[in-house]
Structure 1
């Protein structure tokens, strides 16, 4: 038999909140039910998400998760990030909702992926659908690169941002005498991101300051790291102006 389809059913505190949030991501509501139970069906092209309402549900208690395999995680991230930026003024990376940036996943055979955490704490895990292909950026990794890969698993997959900060901080200290590299820029940008996620602006600022001072090659990865750093710097500045 072929043509089967699986649709995840995820808990939420409010189906109206989920419908409103999903709209900025490009989803449309295909079904909404209030009785006998709260239910919401969403669709974005071939991506379907369904939610059932639990009025007393708390995002911090959620174990909801699903896996979405797509041809190009980067393209979907860009679309989601644009919608989130339009709604919230910047891409949220802490609290609920939030999104992680596309990165190679050690626990997904090295393929690229990201996670979207919705307002009810459900993790929508997006990965490249490339069964049998070589991992993204396959090749020998440095010690710093391996630590960065470990930190991605800790923060983006397990949600342990505090441990990711420790792993990255230690790895960057050990590699302090090495020449500037795109890999170091990526590690610094990620350290700043996860540090902000645990409300550690001092560590985030120090990481961004060091990244700004690196002399890097003019390649895609370096450009991406600098763009991420600029966005994180803007978040820091907004936080400093908050009462």
Structure 2
């Protein structure tokens, strides 16, 4: 009897996953992502809404959001973008926003979250409340909410505030944790840990625009008897507030005004 060969197929392993995110305003969505440098690869609003955008090898697609979608909750949809090194992406988007708006969109919605040295992620929050999160591949897989179990006292509070700030994007909760921790553990903490906590809280003052408490925290930080060696070791942490102020305040460099044309030049 004749035999029939069985046709087999293999999985190539070259899959592409493209997120389909909700959109409430095509114009606002396009304006934000194009400002970041995304190119529009497809655009349709009738008979239904569909947008496709691309930046490098990152593709984001958008469809009409539900009637119950509340952008203010900022949980409409999400996408994780895994990268080797996260800082260059943050820098590229920051520069693109400055080029478009003359400033960074750092508050409200849409926005880009801030970035501190050593941080392993940041987010783009778009007009519909979607979160596109850029994550460094070697980021630890497990987080200990409440702070690392290996730490105690103010050191553990500082670690908890870091997680609230960088992974939950909850600056107010991070500020509360530091305020409570400083009050509870500050007297018994090492000078270095107290400096780290005050510096972290001062950076949150800038982020939360709490001008009334900033001067007091600055003075407390200045009054600490930190050695030069400790100041050098904690340099990045101590400069966090200053770095954030610079990031928020710096605008696009002004372009030189072209010289006015004289009457003679107009008649050429």
Alignment TM class, shorter chain as reference: 0.7 to 0.9
Cross-structure match for 1:16 = 27
Q: Please provide the CA RMSD for this pair.
A: 3.7
Cross-structure match for 2:136 = 128
Question: Which shifted more, 210-219 or 17-26?
Answer: 210-219
Cross-structure match for 1:45 = 56
Change beyond 3 A, Cα 1:3–1:13: same
Give the alignment partner of residue 124 of structure 2, picking from 116, 120, 123: 116
Q: Deviations over 1:81-108 (max 9, x none)?
A: 2223334444333211222234599xxx
SS of the equivalent of 1:217 reads helix
SS of the equivalent of 1:31 reads strand
Q: CA deviation at 1:31?
A: 0.9
Q: CA deviation at 1:73?
A: 0.8
Q: Distance in 2 between matches of 1:54 and 1:37?
A: 11
Indicate if the aligned counterparts of 1:84 and 1:92 stay in contact, CA closer than 8 A: yes
- The alignment's TM-score, normalised by the length of structure 1, stands at 0.72
Question: Which shifted more, 80-89 or 221-230?
Answer: 221-230
Cross-structure match for 2:262 = none
Q: CA deviation at 1:77?
A: 0.9
Cross-structure match for 1:217 = 231
Cross-structure match for 1:72 = 85
Q: CA deviation at 1:21?
A: 1.1
Q: CA deviation at 1:119?
A: 2.1
SS of the equivalent of 1:229 reads helix
Q: Distance in 2 between matches of 1:88 and 1:172?
A: 38
- For structure 2, the residue ranges without an aligned partner over 5 or more in a row are 1-10, 144-149, 250-268
Q: Deviations over 1:52-78 (max 9, x none)?
A: 234965421442222111111111111
Change beyond 3 A, Cα 1:167–1:89: farther
